[in-house]
Amino acid sequence: MIQLNKNYSLPDALADTVPVKVVSVGGAGLNALDRIVLDGLEKASVVAINTDVQSLTSSVAAHKVQLGRTRTRGLGTGGDPELGYEAAVESADEIREALTDTRMVFVCAGLGGGTGSGAAPYVAHLAREAGALVIAFVTLPFTFEGKRRATQAREALGRLNEIAHSVICFENDRMGDLVAPQAGIHHAFAMADTTISQSVRSVVNLIQRPGLIRIGFDDLLAALRVRHSRCLFGFGESDSDNRAHDALTQALKNPLMDRGRMLADATNVLVQVSGGAGMTLSEVEVLMQELGRHVNEQTQILFGAVVDGKLGDRLAVTIISSLAADEDLISESRDGATLSNVFAQPPVREQHPPPQIHIEPEAAMEPVAHEESISFEQPVAAQATPAAESLPGESEPLPVTPRKKAVPHTDEKAAAKSVPAKQEILQFEPVTRGRFEKSEPTIVEGEDLDVPTYLRKNIKVK
Amino acid sequence: MASNKLMVGLEIGTSKICVVVGEGRPDGTIKILGVGQAPSRGVRKGEIVDFETAMKCVHEAVVDAEQKSDVMIRSVYVAVAGSHLQSFNNRGCVMLPEDRDEIDERDVEDVKINAREVSIPAQNAFLHSIIQHYHVEGQDGVLNPIGMLGQKVEADFHIIHGVRTRIQNSIRCVKELPLDVEDVVFGGLASAQVVLTQHQKDLGALVIDIGGGTTDYVLYSDGVVKQSGCLALGGDHITNDISMGLRIPMARAEKLKIEEGSCILGNSLPGEMILLKDESGFAGKEIEREMLNTIIHLRVREGLELLKRGLDEEPYLTYLGAGIFITGGCSLLNGIDHLAEEIFEIPAHLAHAQTTWGVTSAVEDPQFSTAIGLVRFAQVMQTDRPRRGFRETIGKLFRMR
């Protein structure tokens, strides 16, 4: 057994760090950024971008950019992505300034709202213009936040997919699986932030940390290369006697990884193993062998190993992968899984793994049946937490009905009230210009104005 | 006697054709002798798409006007619209010969020609070139340079041009009737002549003429036209949206829009319904009022916002002292002035033809703004130049390249 020695091959630490910036856009992004900063991130600078001055003020980020000084006057966008976009365009120069001198930009945003959906693609665009590599970390809204937000989120995701070099997308719905049924709703939102935080930091570490076997940005891109794919996420670490096995099991048990089953179809899997000075080769061997059982023979495994004294007795695994979306209902989502470790601060590390570890027994027992209907119902009704305020109108239907049904429920009510049901059937025609069908189209700013406005704006009139 | 001559304005609109017969008074006002109108068919978005049908409708309207006003119509001024119309500002410059330093008419003509020597697409023709200001030897804001001393005369022009063949379609349609065409005028410009007073033009004003198929706009600042244009977007679009959104026939949608429509949201009671009575071929139906208003609101808002974005490219919008004047058939839509006020953040007024008298019902109807404006335009033209035949007009279209 070869003992990996810390002095063995550690290159000069900061000599070749890449200038990295983590940029958050919108309220959800800001929360995630705060999480990231609080969890500790030494090798990258952070920039907070938002329309809402209040949330910017309370953010811990050092560098802040307010969008749309005249457009929104320091208020939020009220969930209107167009407004978010306009605000971003107005403040383009400030954003550009914030993005100078950086080789890599991580854009964090919660899609579905106004600023996140509207401004994030534009920020990504500016970052690309500045010559940086752009990776977007985004969350899709909970189903119960409504179809409108889901649609806005998907549109924004589509745009980001085209602009950013890579998009890592987390579905908040899946995040729910990480939270214990009895936990408050704020835990669910906090978990979303934590997940982004973990993945951002693990990717930053992946690139910045001098490794024994180094993983570069090219490897990362290779792992995420599949376009329009879905992204899984999980992480695990352990300091038990059998820590290699435990860390991996924990990671694969993460609901976002679907217990490793998703890995079977992946073409590229990026794995980084990191541990303290006591990490042995055999441990790594065990871990990789076990992982090998979950992946296809043709799968290319991009392997990296890192020794970091700060980890002490712990061993951590980061896995990133992507999967072409075929079985998924959402057209443009991705699955990559990051199984990561919190390297920086011991206290933090102790905070995050516990929820995950605790859940596993529960999650393991009933995840299949309850995967979508999750654990939120009681907490939402029972405790009005600050986080709950950001969910529009979910308070009523939630207590009894599973979340998925909450949205249709209200729809049905409205429909029953005003519309004879038979009329609904006619809705299928996708784009139509009515009496202007045969006339010269009026196309202004890329939009066919002959198509009814409410259709183009996706506003349901029935 | 030029000022007492009969002048006829003809607007071939998307929803209807208006003919206004007017008489210029020596005091500069116009007396409307009669108006004729006919529902328009074969016109889409301000342009003729079915020549034969459109011609019949024009004929109908002209006959109607002849009966109402008891005159024979021989020649008309025709309004044109359509998305092909474009405009820009340009400056021309002429240097006087060394041995002369008093500016005379020739120089002014030269500078006008010079200002037009800009490249517009090959198939386009100049429709209007409207003088804004002259500059003499660097002195700005000269209104009439004739008689002034200087070596260098410059002139700012607002130039409106459009696709020649499309403009000729309107002319041909009238010519076939047969009527003489005195001149062709951009509809928005015609409306502005009667909707605004000279004082309002000086203060700065934006005229938005929202018709059935097009939205024409003209922006005045310092008494001269600074911006103008035509969006192929109008009341027809609102009707079409309603028809599709509520799934009712076009005719019902049009009626619903006129009788019940509003572009202000939140004014109806929750769940307030409008009952559409059944009639032959149409089963009765209940429509939610807020739904109807939402459809209208979205469309009108989009149109106005589009307009604002276009106008925002130049800074004049901030200097409108008199505000916005909305005219045309769509200005009858409930609440459109409030919506415009909200979007432009400038006071908006509903407007109809001013400084005219005669048939009151016509004068006060914003749908006739353009046609009355044509009469006004004719009056101005005729005091400027005694007479200009159709031949010249057509000649202008070719020559002005």
Q: Is residue B266 part of a domain?
A: yes
- A423 contacts chain B (CB < 8 A): yes
Question: Which token pair is A295?
Answer: 């992946």
Q: Which residues in chain B are closer than 8 Å to A423, comparing Cβ atoms?
A: 247
Instruction: Count CA atoms closer than 13 A to B11's CA, side-chain side.
Output: 33
ipTM of the complex: 0.77
- A14 contacts chain B (CB < 8 A): no
Q: Which residues in chain B are closer than 8 Å to A449, comparing Cβ atoms?
A: 232-233, 237, 302, 306
The residue to which tokens 């938005």 are assigned: B208
Residue spans per domain, chain A = 17-208+379-418, 212-344, 421-456
Inter-chain residue contact A434 with B246, CB threshold 8 Å? no
Tell me how crowded residue B357 is: count the other CB atoms within 10 A of its CB: 12
pLDDT score of A346: 32
Inter-chain residue contact A449 with B237, CB threshold 8 Å? yes
Inter-chain residue contact B240 with A449, CB threshold 8 Å? no
Q: Which residues in chain B are closer than 8 Å to A444, comparing Cβ atoms?
A: 231, 306
Q: Which of A432, A434, A442 sits opposite B232 (nearest CB)?
A: A442
Domain A212-344 sits in which CATH superfamily?
Tubulin/FtsZ, C-terminal domain (3.30.1330.20)
Q: CA nearest A47: which of A5, A92, A97, A87? A: A97
Inter-chain residue contact A439 with B49, CB threshold 8 Å? yes
Q: Which of A435, A445, A453 sits opposite B299 (nearest CB)?
A: A453
Asked if the peptide bond before residue A408 counts as cis, ω within 30 degrees of 0, the response is no
Domain ends where: B164, B182, B215? B164
Q: CA nearest A218: which of A423, A448, A451, A18? A: A18
How many distinct structural domains can be found in chain B?
Answer: 2
Which CATH number is correct for A17-208+379-418, 1.20.120.330, 3.30.360.10, 1.10.3720.10, 3.40.50.1440? 3.40.50.1440
pLDDT score of A217: 67
- A90 contacts chain B (CB < 8 A): no
In this model, does residue B189 exceed pLDDT 90?
yes
pLDDT in tens, B149-185: 888 888 888 999 999 999 998 899 998 888 899 899 9
pLDDT score of A439: 73
Q: Which of B44, B233, B241 sits opposite A452 (nearest CB)?
A: B241
Residues B155 and B278 in one domain: no
Strands (DSSP E) contained in B40-151 are: 43-44, 47-48, 75-80, 86-95, 124-136, 139-142
A27/B161 Cα distance (integer angstroms): 48
A229/A331 Cα distance (integer angstroms): 8
* Among chain A residues, CA nearest to B237: A450
Residues B154 and B216 in one domain: no
Question: Closest approach of chain A CAs to the CA of B298, in angstroms?
Answer: 6
Residues B202 and B346 in one domain: yes
SS3 for A6-54, per residue?
HHHHCCCCCCCCCCEEEEEEHHHHHHHHHHHHHHCCCCCEEEEEECCHH
Instruction: Count CA atoms closer than 13 A to B57's CA, side-chain side.
Output: 24
* CA A119 distance to own-chain centroid: 16
A295/A446 Cα distance (integer angstroms): 45
Q: Which of B83, B246, B301 sits opposite A442 (nearest CB)?
A: B83
CATH of the domain at B225: 3.30.420.40
pLDDT score of A254: 65
- A426 contacts chain B (CB < 8 A): yes
Percent of chain B topping pLDDT 90: 36
pLDDT tens for the 462 residues of chain A, in order: 555 444 444 444 444 567 788 888 887 777 888 777 777 776 778 888 888 777 777 777 778 787 777 766 767 777 777 888 888 888 888 888 888 778 788 888 888 877 888 888 888 888 888 777 788 888 888 777 778 888 888 888 888 877 777 777 777 776 666 666 666 677 777 777 777 777 777 777 777 766 667 666 677 766 666 555 566 666 777 777 777 778 887 777 765 666 566 677 777 777 878 777 777 777 888 888 888 777 777 777 777 777 777 777 778 887 777 766 543 333 333 333 332 332 323 333 333 333 333 433 333 344 333 444 333 333 433 343 344 344 444 333 434 333 333 334 444 444 444 434 434 434 344 456 777 776 777 787 777 888 888 888 877 776
Q: Which of B240, B247, B306 sits opposite A444 (nearest CB)?
A: B306
Range of the domain at B267: 197-350
Burial class (CB in 10 A: 0-12, 13-18, 19+), B172: middle
| SS3 label, residue A382 | helix
- A421 contacts chain B (CB < 8 A): no
Q: CA nearest A45: which of A19, A26, A13, A14? A: A19
Positive or negative: CA dihedral B190, B193, B194, B195: positive
Q: Which of residues 90-129 of B touch A (CB under 8 A)?
A: none
Task: Assess contact for A319 and A168: CB atoms under 8 A.
Answer: no
Residues B125 and B242 in one domain: no
Residues B214 and B330 in one domain: yes
In this model, does residue B342 exceed pLDDT 60?
yes
Interaxial angle between packed helices B164-175 and B51-69, expressed in degrees from 0 to 180 and rounded to the nearest 10 = 50
Q: Is residue B319 part of a domain?
A: yes
